[in-house]
Structure 1
């Protein structure tokens, strides 16, 4: 079949979207020996045993049928209690919470629920690789707002306001941020909240890393005055609870938005896996000690990693959350793609080139420190050796 024939079969929208740059390097690294991977954003901890046991028990008890489309009510009630106790914002488990197949599905159904063709969504970059494509696939137009290392990759209300048009429908935020690890405090977020209210914008706030903050407590965007009615909180169990393969996320949103998202979820996926939901329920009930233990380990690794990058000559801001370092490699004269590929081939260290997270990511690499201290120490040794040629 010719390229022309293939292109005729595929939608122009899908043809315009590039495959994930993260996966390209992960797949390349997986075919090589003696690799230290700092690439994929995944905890190196195994899901705690009591969570696994709860899921196994649910199967043994025969809970293997479809759940309610929005998720089992016990889990939605637990999510409601969690949001109230941790972030001081109340959600009705019956009408304002939806359990999804990962946080990625939550973003997807959210964008499809609000966007008409040509509507614009402001995406703060560097950002997770799926945001802009999901906006595009929903018929919207992603509008990038870049941040940089000089401001620790924080965004200001003025930067956002500069790109607002009469087609702007929403903004997409992610703090703690993937890939930079940047966080924002309450006063900084309040300025953006006031902007959203002034321009009548929806706010999609990806807070999947909310539990992984190291220097100050996380602030849920919907907890800010007047923001619950215009905020869609995206979260889940993958990162903080070490449950990536379980593919379980959740949405907290106003009733009208949640209802629209639920319709799409009903027709596209029906419900999240029942057995995974019982595992997540156990995680919320008894898993916070495990979260704290993992978080303390990440903090120790963060401190080591950032200090070590500085010692080998890479400028790197101190990430306040998540489990990524985002050092600058501009001094080498290489693009982030060239640096990552050369490092992989010469020193067997896999990192993600910053440009895959948007134009603002160029000149940087994303390095996950969700791996053992032994691997981190060895990776620093190899990267340091690699840098001596520049």
Structure 2
């Protein structure tokens, strides 16, 4: 007699590992360095959960799928992981990819804790199946716009590639700046070379240029062109999406990559837990961990807490989002309903505007904080 398989998400009593599906960009055109940091945080937390007894005595296990920044690939991975019976879904860095994954997870009744993506509309309609650790783009980019105004910049050019994410960011900036006397000038990077961007900045008398483009290219080439144009010596280059966070940026640009403010989701001072995790991640990565690595660690920390209290039933996991209260590396994590946001949202994510110090590009300076 053949025993039928357990339905997806049902409680398992056979001693097999408790599995979490992890979506991570590990191949181009995905932001591979971000994916590597995200996975390092996820894996470290899994190891620590297992070192302290696992989930009700069972080992916790990651089932990793590379999204390569491809929404269709992410959708296929969500469907596969759902069929495999993993308890919940975690991860993803790219907002457009996370939106595709969240939409599919919602349709399948598959709990998804999104680690890093910030796009406000992760799903078209409100859902109980999806929660998020990263701040909504509207919150973070408004803080960035506030920083620009406080630094004396009101004529802002954005060098943008076509993307829902970049378009959403541009809209947030314009909505905040326009009522306060600011102007946003859009430069279409489908039509402009890096040197042509310089000419546009001069023509429009922009005092700041924001890089709403991918990294390393074309972001690195744009930075080099602007830095070498003597007409633009006073122009601020900014990167709200966080391109300068990663070591690759400094290695490719050196001093040219410094003094480029970006959003970073870390507190001014890490808690004892955060400091311990930072030291371990630094050793594992052989470099300073980015905020993305902390997001990965916190994701598993939350899911492990939920799995211990609710088991592996998917509906019970999703029902528990509003009752989460977990100490993460960057503060106490709780999820709330936020106006305009369709998923359960950690509303107190720390947000900083930082840059790399020109005197020492490996060191970061905090310029603005919430």
TM-score (normalised: structure 1): 0.32
Greater length-normalized contact order (CA 8 Å, ≥ 6 residues apart): 1
Which has the larger strand fraction? 2
TM-score (normalised: structure 2): 0.33
Which has the larger helix fraction? 1
